[in-house]
């Protein structure tokens, strides 16, 4: 299964779109604001000659409010640092990357409005705001996307846990759709090896594309435990496995199909990520942190880009909101494996099991790992 060919978040701005269902990731990105701003500020300050143009890339940008959120954080950091230095800010070029199947049109339509605002927000009475230029770059970040040494800053959030492909599995992951306590060790090992190969490939490509001293901030869905088969990595997927199992027992889903459905993602621990960065050798680690995004605090952001406007949801809505959010991300994977006919039913059942679990007060956090890296000389 080659993800590059069909994987994408749901497009458009409708009810089922990623644009309207990315509040959980948005909460995570907001928590990394300080790390992003510090990396950009240090990047500007560490240049002997203040940069004339800052070229950044957001890899796996998807579509919707989050896509422009990171750009606006970078622009603000550039503006603030320049103001403190008493210099005119550099121009900022923002390369938005995702797989070719991503709905880039929606991004560029939103940019007509929001992009203009991003580049004209007032910075100071003396200095002009940074001018910014947006480019869409379709392609897989497991390959080269940019010319040699052309990037100053790279960001990626909630994308790198997705593997380039499902690893070859020698055993059946009976009853599970991702790594769980009953998953055979050979499967867990195959997943880790695929993540390692992908992550090395990602780092290698970026090391060629980034300038010496360039900064890279990566946020991945991760885990705190050393064993990837811990409940922590599975609690989001267990209710989906339960929904599919229920449909198998009702004869609505073929058991053999269920047995061969496994999610092509790997939630790594900070230790694993740091070890791989060190072995690959092109980047030094400036900062690592691990944090939770808690579903208890789930708030659905209006997709008007205004982070201050939030709607609180009640208990029942949380199950539905999380199911919708996950559906916006993995609908293409489920449809590709089981066919489109089961989509409505399976995600209704998923919402039901999520809500039941919430009422049992089981763990409700999305573990996230952020690393801030510097391209070595
Ligand atoms: C959950 S979304 C995250 C979007 C956004 N960065 C955010 O934080 O809300 C993951 C994105 O990664 C993209 N993606 C997955 N694998 C990719 C690859 N190999 N190359 C480029 N983008 C990829 C998906 O298409 C999807 O848009």
pLDDT of residue 252: 97
CB atoms within 10 A of CB 136: 15
pLDDT of residue 29: 95
Residue of 4, 11, 18, 62 to mutate, ligand 1, most atoms within 8 A of C-beta? 62
Nearest-CA residue for ligand 1 atom 23 is 60
Sign of CA dihedral 30, 35, 40, 44: positive
- Pick the closest to residue 95 from 13, 206, 221 (CA basis): 206
Q: Are 367 and 292 in contact (CB under 8 A)?
A: yes
pLDDT of residue 126: 47
Q: Are 324 and 21 in contact (CB under 8 A)?
A: yes
What is the mean pLDDT of the segment spanning 119-131? 60
What is the mean pLDDT of the segment spanning 102-110? 90
Question: What values do phi and psi take at 232, rounded to 5?
Answer: -55, -40
The residues, any chain, with a CB within 8 Å of residue 210's CB and separated by 6 or more, are: 149, 151, 152, 154, 216, 375
Q: Are 167 and 3 in contact (CB under 8 A)?
A: no
Residue of 28, 106, 162 to mutate, ligand 1, most atoms within 8 A of C-beta? 162
- Pick the closest to residue 170 from 185, 153, 160 (CA basis): 185
- Entry pTM: 0.92
pLDDT of residue 88: 87
- Give the structural domain span for 344: 3-375
CA distance 61 to 70: 9
What is the mean pLDDT of the segment spanning 3-19? 85
- pLDDT value at 98 more than 90: yes
Task: Read off the pLDDT of residues 209-229 as tens digits, 9 standing for 90 and up.
Answer: 999 999 999 999 999 998 999
CATH of the domain at 85: 3.40.50.150
pLDDT of residue 118: 62
What angle separates helix 185-209 from helix 270-280, to the nearest 10 degrees?
50
10 lines ligand 1 (CB under 6 A): no
Task: Read off the pLDDT of residues 265-317 as tens digits, 9 standing for 90 and up.
Answer: 999 999 999 999 999 999 999 999 999 988 766 554 444 444 433 444 554 57
Task: Find the 298 Cα to ligand 1 centroid distance in Å.
Answer: 21
pLDDT bucket at 121, cuts 50 / 70 / 90: low
142 lines ligand 1 (CB under 6 A): yes
152 lines ligand 1 (CB under 6 A): no
Lowest mean pLDDT of 36-40, 224-228, 246-250, 263-267, name the range. 224-228
Mean pLDDT of the chain: 88
Task: Read off the pLDDT of residues 330-350 as tens digits, 9 standing for 90 and up.
Answer: 999 999 999 999 999 999 999
Q: Are 104 and 63 in contact (CB under 8 A)?
A: yes
Rg (CA), the chain: 21
The residues, any chain, with a CB within 8 Å of residue 318's CB and separated by 6 or more, are: 295, 298, 354, 355, 358
Query: How many domains does the chain fold into?
Result: 1
Give the rounded percent of residues in the chain with a pLDDT score beyond 90.
66
| Cα torsion through 249, 253, 256, 260, rounded to 10 | -110
Distance, C-alpha 212 to centroid of its chain: 25
What is the mean pLDDT of the segment spanning 2-8? 80
Task: Find the 179 Cα to ligand 1 centroid distance in Å.
Answer: 21
Residue of 2, 159, 331 to mutate, ligand 1, most atoms within 8 A of C-beta? 159
Q: Are 286 and 373 in contact (CB under 8 A)?
A: yes
Closest ligand 1 atom number to CA of residue 219:
8
What is the mean pLDDT of the segment spanning 99-104? 93
- pLDDT value at 44 more than 60: yes
């Amino acid at each position: 299964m080659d993800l590059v060919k069909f994987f994408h978040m749901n497009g458009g701005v409708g009810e089922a779109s990623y644009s309207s269902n990315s509040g959980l990731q948005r909460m995570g990105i907001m928590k990394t604001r300080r790390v992003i701003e510090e990396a950009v500020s240090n990047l500007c300050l560490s240049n002997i000659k203040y940069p004339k143009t800052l070229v950044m890339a957001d890899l796996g940008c998807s579509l919707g409010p989050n896509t422009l959120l990171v750009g606006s954080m970078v622009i603000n950091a550039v503006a603030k640092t320049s103001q403190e230095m008493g210099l005119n800010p550099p121009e900022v070029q923002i390369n938005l990357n995702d797989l070719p199947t991503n709905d880039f049109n929606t991004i560029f339509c939103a940019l007509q409005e929001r992009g203009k605002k991003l580049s004209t927000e007032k910075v100071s009475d003396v200095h002009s705001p940074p001018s910014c230029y947006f480019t869409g770059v379709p392609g897989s970040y497991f390959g080269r996307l940019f010319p040699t040494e052309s990037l100053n800053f790279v960001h990626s959030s909630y994308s790198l846990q997705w593997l380039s492909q499902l690893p070859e599995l020698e055993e059946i992951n009976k009853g599970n759709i991702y790594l769980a306590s009953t998953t055979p060790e050979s499967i867990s090992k195959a997943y880790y090896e695929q993540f390692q190969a992908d992550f090395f490939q990602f780092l290698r490509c970026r090391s060629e594309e980034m300038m010496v001293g360039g900064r890279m901030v990566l946020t991945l869905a991760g885990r705190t435990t050393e064993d990837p088969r811990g409940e922590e990595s599975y609690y989001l997927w267990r209710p989906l496995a339960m929904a599919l199992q229920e449909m198998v027992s009702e004869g609505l889903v073929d058991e053999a199909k269920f047995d061969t459905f496994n999610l092509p993602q790997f939630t790594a621990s900070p230790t694993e990520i740091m070890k791989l960065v060190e072995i690959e050798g092109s980047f030094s680690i400036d900062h690592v942190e691990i944090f939770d995004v808690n579903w208890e605090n789930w708030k659905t952001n209006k997709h008007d880009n205004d982070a201050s406007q939030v709607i609180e949801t009640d208990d029942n809505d949380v199950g539905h909101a999380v199911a919708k959010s996950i559906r916006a991300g993995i609908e293409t994977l489920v449809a590709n494996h089981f066919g489109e006919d089961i989509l409505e039913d399976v995600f209704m059942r998923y919402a039901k099991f999520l809500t039941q679990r919430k009422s049992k007060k089981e763990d409700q956090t999305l573990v996230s790992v952020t690393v801030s890296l510097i391209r070595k000389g």
